[in-house]
Amino acid sequence: MAANRLQLRAEFAPMLRMAVPLALAELGWMAMGLEDTIMAGRLGAAALGAGSLGAMVFYPIAIGGTGFLLGMDTLVAQAHGARDAADCRRTLVNGVWLSLALAPLFALAIVSLIPVLRATGTNPNVMALFEPFLRALAWGLPPLFLYAALRRYLQAIDVVKPVTFALVSANVVNVLGNWVLMYGHCGAPRMGLEGCGWSTTIARCYMAAVLLATIAWHERRTGSLLLSISWRPSLDRIRSLAALGMPAALQFLFEGVVFSLVSVFAAHLDEASLAAHSIAINVVSTTYMVPLGISSAAAVRVGQAYGAGDLRGAATRGWTAILLGALFMAGAGVALGTVPGWIVRIYTSDAGVIAAGAVLLRIAALFQLFDGLQTVSTGALRGIGDTRTPMLVHLAGYWGVGLPVAYLLCFRFGWGAAGIWVGLSAALILIGSTLVAVWRWRALKIGA
């Protein structure tokens, strides 16, 4: 490793101070979806199926849309490192404009899929619940995109605890909203699954409001510079944000579509295999949230050093984040490989599903380390303004290797769900190894 041990040791504590709150925020995001699933389960199988279908349609598109705002990590962090407070705020203003412009477009894209799903023969009972649920979720896109822009700004200027508070406390808002609107408490009509969608939208409005209040408080303490700059949109700045954000958005889209497709593959298998696949997806999605938080910290810390002209420090910060992500995911891999049955039993008592799920988690254990490496390396590269390389590597890894291997092993060679997960493992091992190599080359190039 290019950075020496003393530099890594000095950077470990500040990286951890930023990464832990952001990882908790990502876990809070994951918890919100789990709450909705649990509470929708009380409404019956049709509601549970419609909710799962809604999540599968909504989240890849919504997360892809928020990916357009990831360029704020680069521009704000680098300006903050260069001590250019006015430039930080100009990016915030234009990030807000971009978020408000994108939200209606992505909401329209989501709602336009309703007639498509109806035309493809989706169960009418499921569709009757799915449509109002998805429309309610779509109303939450403007506050979600606004929240994403405000979050990118705040974490890039080292204000991270309010981000964690917003997401963790939003879970309380969501549970209370579900209880009132889904089941008809406190005088509210019993809205069923649609109430779950409106509750999620309310929680997202709350998240955006918390971060708006945080920025107002921060501005008051630091001279209210935000009030003295122009709030007119700058096409040049918006183009810069889009140029950095579009590859990140496409990367999210590539990943989201691949995981949706492998779930379609699994839906052609027996019920135990499908259930085991769903459980394994939930488990690895949960472990992924921690390196995702570390990745955001890496983008910020690397970007700040890069903006300050401390190129050696930027490299050290990137390697520290990669090491931190590798340590966590190596531990996750050991857990998945040694006690997979115990983990599956958290979800079900069905012996067939436990046996099948344990096999999938043992396979998933093989790629945990590489999943952490690819996620955090992507953040480090974003810190120095490179979002295109991770996009291309993910495209090649998932679509050139992972998906074909998953299909062939699952159906042509009869491996079933295990074949799907071997394909995912092959993709992630390739992506993780490649992106670490890319980061090493970039770190050497910038002077580490």
Placement of tokens 């080292």 in the chain: 158
Predicted confidence at residue 1, as pLDDT, reads 45
Non-local (6+) Cβ contacts of 200 within 8 A are: 32, 36, 136, 137, 140, 174, 177
Q: Give me the pLDDT at residue 217, please.
A: 94
Predicted pLDDT of residue 2: 45
Whether 100 contacts 142, CB under 8 Å: yes
CB 376 within 8 Å of CB 389: no
Q: What angle do CA 401, 297, 282 make, to 5 degrees?
A: 50
Nearest to 360 by CA among 292, 408, 429, 406: 406
Residues 142 and 6 sit within 8 Å (Cβ to Cβ): no
Query: Is residue 314 within 8 Å of residue 36, measured between CB atoms?
Result: no
User: Could you tell me the residue ranges of all domains in the chain?
Assistant: 5-445
Q: 10-residue block means of pLDDT along the chain (448 residues)?
A: 66 90 88 83 76 80 90 95 94 96 94 85 79 93 96 95 94 95 91 93 96 94 85 93 93 84 80 82 91 95 94 93 96 96 88 91 96 96 95 95 94 92 96 96 78
Within 10 Å of residue 5's Cβ, how many Cβ atoms?
A: 8
**Quick check: 159 and 297 in contact, CB under 8 A?**
no
